[in-house]
Amino acid sequence: MSDDPEKFTKAAFEEFKLFYESTEKVTDRRLESNRWNYSICVAILVAVAVIINWSLARPSFILMSVGAVIVLSLMAALYCTLWIGQIRDYKALNNAKFDVLNSMAPRVAFGESEADPRISFRPFEKEWESLQRANAVEEVYRSNIVALRASNMEYLIPRAFRILFVSIIIGAIFFSAWNWESVVTIPAIEGVAPGSADD
């Protein structure tokens, strides 16, 4: 006979349902987070395009524009890395939740009788244990809080955006190096000869 008392534990359907709803909410938050992050990356791309277009009409501001494009693209590439970490964390949390649901499902009992009482399956505690077994949690540097470590297709969009932003940075640097004289030279204002002053 097994010494494991949990083998004979019956879980209440209401508890199973509550935990399942918390799993769905995590999935919804993950999808909403992906939509939000996608919108931010598209907005940054539009801002980069506007800056480039604006600087083509104003060559005297090209150095400032190149700097702005590089800074924006660098921030966006770092943001994409954060986005990838969010996806990884949400996936780890979802996996832990589904592990608990799968182990809980065969023990779910409907109704309750005195002869067959229901006790808590402790799903959130088991979820945390599942995350720890998967090495999905770590202590945050220089603090005592614990956080999650930040279908592979979900990673495709943030990785593609990150590659795009890094390519923009490299392109802006090469453009600046190749056209250094025209980038740092401020053209004369139309109608005013260089070195002349208004009388």
52 domain residue, yes or no: yes
Overall number of domains in the chain: 1
- Sign for the CA dihedral angle at 163, 166, 171, 172 comes to positive
Query: What's the CA gap between 19 and 128, in Å, rounded?
Result: 13
30 domain residue, yes or no: yes
192 domain residue, yes or no: no
Task: Characterize the bridge pairing of strands 146-148 and 137-139.
Answer: antiparallel
Task: Characterize the bridge pairing of strands 108-109 and 11-12.
Answer: parallel
Per-residue pLDDT of the chain (199 residues; tens, 9 = 90+): 444 545 556 777 787 888 888 888 888 998 899 999 999 999 999 999 999 898 888 877 888 888 899 999 999 999 999 999 998 888 888 888 888 888 877 777 776 665 566 667 777 777 777 777 777 666 545 445 455 554 667 888 899 999 999 999 998 888 877 877 766 665 544 444 444 445 4
41 domain residue, yes or no: yes
194 domain residue, yes or no: no
In percent, the amount of the chain with pLDDT more than 90 equals 26
- Sign for the CA dihedral angle at 181, 168, 83, 28 comes to positive
Among the listed residues 99, 88, 136, 79, the one whose alpha carbon sits nearest the alpha carbon of residue 23: 99
**Domain that includes residue 96, residue range:** 5-184
197 domain residue, yes or no: no
pTM: 0.67
Task: Characterize the bridge pairing of strands 11-12 and 137-139.
Answer: unpaired
191 domain residue, yes or no: no
9 domain residue, yes or no: yes
Query: What's the CA gap between 140 and 147, in Å, rounded?
Result: 7
